Amino acid sequence: LMASSSSSSSAQQRLRIIAGHLQKRPEDENASVAAQECKAEAPRSEPSSATPVPRRRQEIMKWNGWGYSDSRFLFNKKGQAEFTGKRYRLSGLILPSLKDWFEGTFGANLQHRSPATPSLNLSAVAPPNLNQPFVEDLKAAGLTVSHDPEDRVFRAHGHCLHEVFALREGRIGRVPDTVVWPSCHSDVEKIVELACEHNVCLIPYGGGTSVSSALECPREESRSIVSLDTSQMSRILWIDEKNLTAHVEAGIIGQDLERQLNERGFCTGHEPDSMEFSSLGGWVATRASGMKKNIYGNIEDLVVHIKMVTPRGVIEKSCLGPRMSTGPDIHHFILGSEGTLGVVTEVTLKIRPIPEYQKYGSVVFPNFQQGVACLREVARQRCAPASIRLMDNEQFQFGEFCFFLILLSFFCFDPQHLCVATLLFEGDRGKVLQHEKQVYDIAAKFGGLAAGEDNGQRGYMLTFVIAYLRDLGMDYYVIGESFETSVPWDRVLDLCRNVKERIVRECKERGVQFPPLSTSRVTQTYDAGACVYFYFAFNYRGLSDPVHVYEQVEHAAREEILANGGSLSHHHGVGKLRKEWMKESVSGVGLGMLKSVKEYVDPQNIFGNRNLL
């Protein structure tokens, strides 16, 4: 995934593009997964080849944790950490210092285990509350439907701590009653039409990586709940090389989209940390942000056209013009609507030729203040590389087990204050090198020392395995999560310090026995501010209701963020987790506007996940 760092000449790139064109469509091994012939009239030049995510996702993914079933951290018999599977660069590696860090940071002990329920207890799943006529009409329309408890449980949650924790304990709450898999836009139109007719509740489901309780079935919902799984709508319908756009079905997941475009010599450049699993439709519905947004933009900058099926009908623009002055942009009703208005079915995205050259980098700063000052200066000069991230000292210390400490040579730095920025440059070789020099020169003014490509690359690799680490923690009484915000530059430091301190204090007040890990990093830079990420985890031994404590602390942390001039969310969205602050965040009138849109578009509340509003 992150392996494309090696340099490549333009000739090689050309070859790759040609290879992409010549590539044959491989035979589908799994007949049930094969794309159905679709009745859609959308022009489809060269539908691209791909195996979508299987309908029975539980066959390759964990039902009660993050990611692939074959990839997990564990402590082996020697007490050494290792990462299983073959998918990642870390896979199969032994990480000798993780144990010490883990035990030292959390006061955890490998003798004290808190293992998860090994398998789903089917009897814990309530029988489905079916709307029989609706189900029959679905089947009559030729749609694939399931009432299988495993399928339903899999789609009843995102990856909030409380959701995963409950699954590990074998506690199952309200789950969808039916799962339906449309395979194209017109399937979705049919489903929405039937849902309106029979008054059932639809909850769109893409990659299932939500961290805002957005996928939770509302307790108060008495109608039959239908999970609309978009995973089988995963084709790239066309690529327009003249305008550099691609028209893609919204169910495609990030890594497939990127891989298939790469085969054709293109990329979207949209790489959210969840891109292995999250879907295009999900990005649109939550206003996602990608790691390389400095070059490619966030999702709202990337979309040219969106097609969404609502109870009122289909909403879309009439042309592919790059910008319009036609009243408020209707895309912005869709972007961030979090599944409350309809299902995004197809999206036209900007694409770019694959960059000729990619280079990682890292800079070590004597302290976080200097690091932030440097990022601010980089933003001021508008010379941010594709990605620039600054980890604070706590994360630096965590990262050490990967960084293998080349940094011992910097005697002048206090290891208790050190922090590190990781960088990713993209573009043509000459420009990248020039750009790199410019950024390192700025860094030097703030006491930053270049710390090598490898460290940078490892930093980005960590992004993809960090969610797996949470599962490891949960095996040993450690729970945690990340959350994010955006904030003006001048408040970045104050916000980080106050939120971190608030977390520590709240944990103490609520009886957490060991000081928590409370750490922040700046992950995106903008002209007027930055996106800040917090990681927060603690050892919950001795607490009777750890999830409740966790939620109280996260709540307090969010209050602190808002009090310090941070936003409710930069890209995770609101869901149901942060709903209570919506009015405060967008004003009563603002909320009223959104509500009136909802009322017009979906008066029956068919899209009844109750997110956002």
The contact set with other proteins (CB under 8 A) reads 490-491, 494-495, 497-498, 501-502, 562-565, 584
Map residue 530 onto helix, strand or coil.
Answer: strand
Q: Kindly tell me which of 274 and 569 has the beta carbon lying closer to other proteins.
A: 569
Residue 231 annotated as binding site: no
Residue 287 annotated as binding site: yes
Burial of 517-535, coded b for 16+ CB within 10 Å and e otherwise, reads bbbbbbbbbbeebbbbbbb
Q: Kindly tell me which of 314 and 582 has the beta carbon lying closer to other proteins.
A: 582
CA distances from 18 to 15, 25, 274, 350, 556 (A): 5, 15, 30, 21, 54
Q: Kindly tell me which of 153 and 495 has the beta carbon lying closer to other proteins.
A: 495
Q: How far is the CB of 382 from other proteins (least distance, A)?
A: 21
Residues 6+ positions from 280 with CB-CB distance below 8 Å = 206, 248, 249, 250, 251, 252, 253, 254, 257, 344, 347, 349
Locus of tokens 């959210």: 272
Show the beta-strand stretches assigned E in 220-365: 225-229, 236-240, 245-249, 266-267, 303-310, 313-315, 343-350, 352-353, 357-365
Dist CA 546 CA 410 (whole Å): 40
- Start-end of H helices in 62-116: 98-106
Q: Kindly tell me which of 291 and 532 has the beta carbon lying closer to other proteins.
A: 532
Residue 339 annotated as binding site: yes
Q: How far is the CB of 379 from other proteins (least distance, A)?
A: 17
Q: How far is the CB of 45 from other proteins (least distance, A)?
A: 49
Catalytic residues: 533
In which element (H, E) is residue 479 found?
Answer: strand 478-488
In which element (H, E) is residue 139 found?
Answer: helix 132-140
Residue 259 annotated as binding site: no
Q: Kindly tell me which of 100 and 584 has the beta carbon lying closer to other proteins.
A: 584
Structure tokens at 356: 């000729």
Residue 205 annotated as binding site: yes
Structure tokens at 447: 């006491």
Q: Kindly tell me which of 16 and 510 has the beta carbon lying closer to other proteins.
A: 510
Dist CA 448 CA 119 (whole Å): 49
Residue 340 annotated as binding site: yes
> How many CA atoms within 13 Å lie on the side-chain side of 250?
30
Show the beta-strand stretches assigned E in 241-351: 245-249, 266-267, 303-310, 313-315, 343-350
Residue 378 annotated as binding site: no
Q: Which residues belong to the annotated binding site?
A: 204-210, 286-289, 338-344, 470
Q: Detail the residues annotated as belonging to a binding site for substrate.
A: 470
